[in-house]
Structure 1
């Protein structure tokens, strides 16, 4: 269905002028109401109209809304998006759902980016693939309530029963007579009547939906591709300065002395400012260092290059990633804390006809988002105003307030578009840097990170070691499974003396596997962090997916069975399991959802595996040597994804991916086009993770500096064909942004084995395949 894209009136700044929020301040709210129009808030306690008669006053906080709908007398509908847009399409999908339930005219809809204000909007942390799965019902109820309210208003004006009228494409129709009234013409009456009773609020049936679950053009596509979109680095404020910061090269380091004489001689440099180091482990607070304040970015960077700093490298100066890898591998060879226990795994392994053991390793990874982090701040008179590409504006507000010792109410955060995020931009250390420097110099300041800054001073994905053991019976069936993981915990970045992840973290892709194995033990082993660890797209499910997906393929080969047939047999009979009552350590986390709503469902896993097999041509003719297919399935973020990847391995060991087939069961999918795009991106990201990406440390410092030595997938290797198949469903939605990465990691590694006979157990692949034609796997 061809539909015009909604006009974008986001509350982001113009290129040459500061932004002002279009969200009304409390003291101006009554003025807005007096100008006419209707404002509806969808909240955790229902949907309400905002108006003075309902008790709103400038000094009183309203309820806690998740999203506002503003309906003007002119018929324009403004929908405020409370989540951050980083390419996943939420600024289109969220308004689309609301407008569909309203039966609005999409051409008259406008999208406005909400300020950071979690008490008002609910969670704004755009992480964990939650924007639809946590809010779909609230969006629908908001739109349906407004639709019912406008129908009631029309019924009152026509003196007919509400059952006789119906909202259609931005107007209300009296069905019997054909009379119509546009939404805007009904605003005055709608503001004076009671909100609809709950029995009047009806969510549309699938057959009635115009846009949900169907194609919808992105409202940001044209401005993003023509240069009109506003990202963090596009913000300009009058009198703005630019800062480049020399940060400690080792986590926990501090400045001993600085010679800034040469830096001050650089044209455009105005001031040198010391940023104090935050107490370890630091959390979201800045690392500290020395900032060069200049009139432009180039001068700030050249001035930073001219600094002569002596550092105290602190407690992590001896961190060496090669030695740390060895320590992780040793850790998983000893028993850990159980995250899931079923049956008697030791007996199952001992009595099995065959026992198979394998170890896997994944290194530190950088988020490597296209847009390095950047923030603009203006701090005056005890108030801080920030513009930033942040995934979590409320965390930014709270952390800036903590860092500058301000009241949270005096911190405002404008969310710009994000040039990628992957979890990095939910951590507001860079925003605190800008706010601190603005206060110090008495002017607006933009802190601009470079790619080198991003690789060497950011939060990294944790390295991980895995040891898996399985027992096979005489028929090749898995009768016992033990999985040990060791990786530094994200919590180590926020709390001292953390010696490893907690057992319940294993439900992020290890304890919640959908396999039918009578004896199972999943354990977490100690691992101490020596650098900042932060969540990264798919979090621990990435390395769990690589290890588990690879191991299942190894077991299939050991059993001399086709990997796809073996995988289907491993899933066992269809069953729905509440893992909180079936072996999981308490508390049994489930991506923030209940096990009642989202049980472990092996039928859904089977469905996507069978679909991937069918659509990929898995059972077709065998491929020539040097080409191979791999298959893997993984449950993460409440969704089930199976992937078949075909690789071509060149004689020099270069890996290309001509084709991939992805099958996804994520429950109800509101925007199929964006869901497919997310799976395509997940595959390419997984290719980088598997084939070339690695951050290493020597003497506490990151070795890599840019894309010349931190490898990412290039055009030559990128898939020529990616077929994404979405399982139709009206079930509760799961995640989309993250679940595609874990199975892709395993499928790629398995395809490499099928093509070359070389089993890759340590990532990245790098040069491991050089000379593959003359050797084979053990």
Structure 2
């Protein structure tokens, strides 16, 4: 083969391609023309998510935090499918904190449902650029080429070019308009809706990964902080002499006082800086601190729940209404009412919060197990006197998060201490810190009253919800619950009711309030589905059959139109894209009835319970089988069914719902945070336990695959667990437990 050579400048002049391209080699052999490419040795960036290397490997950015839920795989699956790349040739790169990626807050089960369409556009756009580059090279219309599995083919003659060969030319193509993109059909998917193993699986299981607690830097010092146990308390004085005498302790620093609003700032306390974790913790134990416990020093959670229960019995701020509630109760054949209570809860991820920071006069770099790197950037900018975009946030793997690590307080602590010391500092929270000093899920009380006619139709439904609002973390003067909180399983009930009235009341927070996996759905679902079970039992109707009666019509519910709830948020989704569909509720019930024989004759003390709940625009049904004997509770089986629309990675959906059932059982059986004299009483897993292996039932998950837009997966499995459990306990024992957790009544 004869070829001619041009240097790069001559080539660019002749071809008009800026920034690199390819050169056609002339062949006299009659074989297919071959390309001789002038390549940079650097990856060629097609968009903010996709770069292609000269060696034909493709770098794909994951912009979300990976905490075991599989986002690092799911995000890449979607892009890779539309890009049509070979999975074995992908490098998955964890994105830094960067607003170019859009929202990076890995909360609210949003990684797939909020980005599914956009990520498909990212992959399709990069594919279109590669195809156009190949068309330009072959001097044919773009319709005559097709990208497939890491190559672009000439449809006329079968010739092909690797993505790596086209990288530079493709990188110089204009980004196509979204309207011009073509997308794969469901039948063409290579990775979407396929059980792709998580990308870090081998490294996770062999310990070859970096979590927040693993970060090592040259000259790194460790900080352990003794924090005031009462919110808004402060340090009056402290004696650090004994702490400084411990080998390895370098310094002791008084942290800034807790400010209002607390938001994500560090709390009052004293930090011990040492060369190793052991010395830091021992130095901390040796501190002598005189505290001013402040305004919350007398707060008692038992008294608070008594106040909330009283509020739930009285009229409050009305948020939704349908029909004439007075007339509805007047015509009822039977009136039933009940009050339900869920305690304050802690997140308790396996890896407590951890972050490292290196602050200099001109820069700030952070390594953190954070769910929200952009919040970190915003939160610490004032500490270091830089703009948020000047702060580099490296996101490590997270050993669980559940919403706790979306708060940047532990990162702010590392940044503050690094600035004070002029050295890299890693802050490591202990388990006791995690249980006692975190952001807690609000304790809540709900009261529901309903009128039934002789056929068990609901003539009137009145409900009240009382809890400290999440907004108190950002505005302590907040007195009411937010519309978004009332949108979470409260003012969007799916049942056929003739009249409805919803009211709510806030409560002043004694601790930092923060969202926890499935947020206000936890107390609302517990109350809602427990109460429906009570209605069914009062009429002697099996709950699964009664649900069919309540799901009377295949309709779409619009809380604004049906209940007058103008503030309905629908998990920040449109009702056009994600309607509230009774048909999908019924489909979950159908599948549960196929999998579980609810009418099965069981031994004495055994029974099934169930609950079906929509949250994060997905529908989940949970059936729990229990045995209650001699004051001992055993959970025997738990069957879940989820309709989350398109399940991008079914393997991760299974894993997330299994994890949600374990998480939900931990909370329902044993989860409880008590506050005495303003401080959290619990401190570790001995008094805030998680489900043990011998307590775990047989778990089963069924996915209803559909063509609906993807819904959330990480959180929707939690809310129905508690009511399915307590409903089963009632069916097995005749005892109704309306105040969680269960271990205050039964041995678990």
Q: Does 1:130 align with 2:119?
A: no
The whole-number CA distance in structure 2 between the counterparts of 1:222 and 1:577 is 45
Counterpart contact for 1:151–1:162, Cα < 8 Å? yes
Match of 2:498? 518
Match of 2:582? 602
Cα distance, 1:618 vs structure 2: 2.1
Structure 1 stretch 188-197 or stretch 698-707: which is displaced more? Answer: 188-197
Match of 2:457? 477
Aligned match of 2:430 in 437, 440, 450? 450
Match of 1:247? 227
Match of 1:739? 716
Counterpart contact for 2:371–2:403, Cα < 8 Å? yes
Rate the CA distance shift 1:441–1:648 in 2: closer, same or farther, 3 A.
same
Calculate the TM-score normalised by the size of structure 1.
Answer: 0.89
Aligned match of 2:67 in 86, 98, 109? 86
Question: Secondary structure of the equivalent of 1:346?
Answer: helix
Counterpart contact for 1:240–1:443, Cα < 8 Å? yes
Counterpart contact for 2:494–2:557, Cα < 8 Å? no
Match of 2:326? 346
The whole-number CA distance in structure 2 between the counterparts of 1:229 and 1:133 is 27
Equivalent positions of 1:91-102 (< 5 A) are: 91-102=72-83
Q: Does 1:679 align with 2:657?
A: yes
The whole-number CA distance in structure 2 between the counterparts of 1:672 and 1:644 is 20
Match of 1:17? none
Match of 1:689? 667
Aligned match of 1:76 in 29, 54, 57? 57
Match of 1:19? none
Question: Secondary structure of the equivalent of 1:532?
Answer: coil
Alignment deviations for residues 595-626 of structure 1 (CA, whole Å, 9 cap, x no partner): 2322221111111112112112223x221122
Match of 1:663? 641
Question: Secondary structure of the equivalent of 1:543?
Answer: helix
The whole-number CA distance in structure 2 between the counterparts of 1:122 and 1:147 is 21
Cα distance, 1:527 vs structure 2: 1.4
The whole-number CA distance in structure 2 between the counterparts of 1:269 and 1:36 is 45
Rate the CA distance shift 1:198–1:125 in 2: closer, same or farther, 3 A.
closer
Match of 1:216? 196
Equivalent positions of 1:367-382 (< 5 A) are: 367-382=347-362
Counterpart contact for 2:234–2:258, Cα < 8 Å? no
Rate the CA distance shift 1:166–1:442 in 2: closer, same or farther, 3 A.
same
Counterpart contact for 1:616–1:660, Cα < 8 Å? no
Cα distance, 1:375 vs structure 2: 0.6
Alignment deviations for residues 222-261 of structure 1 (CA, whole Å, 9 cap, x no partner): 1111000110011111111101001001011000110111
Aligned match of 1:109 in 87, 90, 93? 90
Structure 1 stretch 444-453 or stretch 511-520: which is displaced more? Answer: 511-520
Aligned match of 1:641 in 607, 617, 620? 620
Aligned match of 2:419 in 414, 435, 439? 439
Cα distance, 1:694 vs structure 2: 0.5
The whole-number CA distance in structure 2 between the counterparts of 1:303 and 1:581 is 61
Gaps of 5+ in 1: 1-28, 42-66, 773-778
Alignment deviations for residues 163-186 of structure 1 (CA, whole Å, 9 cap, x no partner): 222212111122342212111111
Counterpart contact for 2:46–2:170, Cα < 8 Å? no
The whole-number CA distance in structure 2 between the counterparts of 1:348 and 1:225 is 59
Cα distance, 1:593 vs structure 2: 1.1
Gaps of 5+ in 2: 1-18, 21-38
Counterpart contact for 2:476–2:509, Cα < 8 Å? no
Counterpart contact for 1:275–1:291, Cα < 8 Å? yes
Aligned match of 1:756 in 733, 736, 742? 733
Match of 2:687? 709
Q: Does 1:549 align with 2:529?
A: yes
Rate the CA distance shift 1:650–1:377 in 2: closer, same or farther, 3 A.
farther
Match of 1:567? 547
Cα distance, 1:574 vs structure 2: 0.6
Counterpart contact for 1:378–1:384, Cα < 8 Å? yes
Counterpart contact for 1:512–1:635, Cα < 8 Å? no
Alignment deviations for residues 497-522 of structure 1 (CA, whole Å, 9 cap, x no partner): 11231345211111111111121112
The whole-number CA distance in structure 2 between the counterparts of 1:526 and 1:164 is 63
Calculate the TM-score normalised by the size of structure 2.
Answer: 0.93
The whole-number CA distance in structure 2 between the counterparts of 1:478 and 1:636 is 23
Alignment deviations for residues 684-726 of structure 1 (CA, whole Å, 9 cap, x no partner): 1110111111010111111111000112211111122x22122
Question: Secondary structure of the equivalent of 1:138?
Answer: helix
Equivalent positions of 1:568-647 (< 5 A) are: 568-619=548-599, 621-647=600-626
Aligned length: 712
The whole-number CA distance in structure 2 between the counterparts of 1:320 and 1:633 is 34
Question: Secondary structure of the equivalent of 2:572?
Answer: coil
Cα distance, 1:317 vs structure 2: 0.4
Question: Secondary structure of the equivalent of 1:244?
Answer: strand
Question: Secondary structure of the equivalent of 1:262?
Answer: helix
Structure 1 stretch 711-720 or stretch 530-539: which is displaced more? Answer: 711-720
Counterpart contact for 2:331–2:459, Cα < 8 Å? no
Match of 2:12? none
Alignment deviations for residues 180-204 of structure 1 (CA, whole Å, 9 cap, x no partner): 2111111233234444455652110
Match of 2:703? 726
Structure 1 stretch 723-732 or stretch 82-91: which is displaced more? Answer: 723-732
Equivalent positions of 1:40-79 (< 5 A) are: 40-41=46-47, 67-79=48-60
Alignment deviations for residues 429-451 of structure 1 (CA, whole Å, 9 cap, x no partner): 00000000001111100101000
Alignment deviations for residues 415-434 of structure 1 (CA, whole Å, 9 cap, x no partner): 00000000000000000000
Rate the CA distance shift 1:104–1:503 in 2: closer, same or farther, 3 A.
closer
Counterpart contact for 2:619–2:716, Cα < 8 Å? yes
Root-mean-square deviation over aligned CA pairs: 1.7
Match of 2:380? 400
Structure 1 stretch 78-87 or stretch 569-578: which is displaced more? Answer: 569-578
Equivalent positions of 1:16-31 (< 5 A) are: none
Question: Secondary structure of the equivalent of 2:700?
Answer: strand
Aligned match of 2:279 in 283, 299, 302? 299
Match of 1:776? none
Counterpart contact for 2:462–2:501, Cα < 8 Å? yes
The whole-number CA distance in structure 2 between the counterparts of 1:443 and 1:402 is 19
Rate the CA distance shift 1:583–1:246 in 2: closer, same or farther, 3 A.
same
Question: Secondary structure of the equivalent of 1:521?
Answer: strand
Counterpart contact for 1:485–1:523, Cα < 8 Å? yes
The whole-number CA distance in structure 2 between the counterparts of 1:174 and 1:477 is 65
Counterpart contact for 1:285–1:432, Cα < 8 Å? yes
Alignment deviations for residues 145-178 of structure 1 (CA, whole Å, 9 cap, x no partner): 2212212222222233322222121111223422
The whole-number CA distance in structure 2 between the counterparts of 1:701 and 1:196 is 57
Counterpart contact for 1:245–1:291, Cα < 8 Å? yes
The whole-number CA distance in structure 1 between the counterparts of 2:240 and 2:535 is 61
The whole-number CA distance in structure 1 between the counterparts of 2:327 and 2:578 is 32
Counterpart contact for 2:483–2:568, Cα < 8 Å? no
Alignment deviations for residues 374-415 of structure 1 (CA, whole Å, 9 cap, x no partner): 110010014211100100000011001133443223321110
Counterpart contact for 1:667–1:729, Cα < 8 Å? yes
Structure 1 stretch 287-296 or stretch 622-631: which is displaced more? Answer: 622-631
The whole-number CA distance in structure 2 between the counterparts of 1:748 and 1:225 is 32
Counterpart contact for 2:559–2:566, Cα < 8 Å? no
Match of 2:405? 425
Cα distance, 1:294 vs structure 2: 0.5
Question: Secondary structure of the equivalent of 1:78?
Answer: strand
